Structure 1
Amino acid sequence: MSFDTEQGAMAHARELAAELVRSTGLVRGAIVVENEEAGGLFEVPLATWNN
């Protein structure tokens, strides 16, 4: 999947993480997002969404 901005990618990763936790109960792991052109990388830990 491709996004125009890092903010868009981060928002989508957060939505995915929250949905994974809600639907599966997973709390270990992370959504990893990579910017192939700029080399940037960030993670959204699933544990963040375990409320």
Structure 2
Amino acid sequence: MKTVPEQPGKWSKELEQRLRLALQDLRFGTVTLVVQDGKVIQLDKNEKIRI
């Protein structure tokens, strides 16, 4: 996934949109934000599919 540069303490519209997309259809799993120097640098989505 592409890194998303941020200003410390401020969310960009792109980050908010990507986070909403990651969460909108997630039923089982995790969404993780990786922060470095006060900036979100990575968003990981790990989805489990129950059969």
Same fold flag (TM > 0.5): no
Q: Which has the higher contact order (CA 8 A, sep 6+)?
A: 2
Report the TM-score when normalising by structure 1. Answer: 0.36
Report the TM-score when normalising by structure 2. Answer: 0.36
Q: Relative to total residues, which structure has the larger strand share, 1 or 2?
A: 2
Q: Which structure has the bigger radius of gyration?
A: 2
Q: Relative to total residues, which structure has the larger helix share, 1 or 2?
A: 1
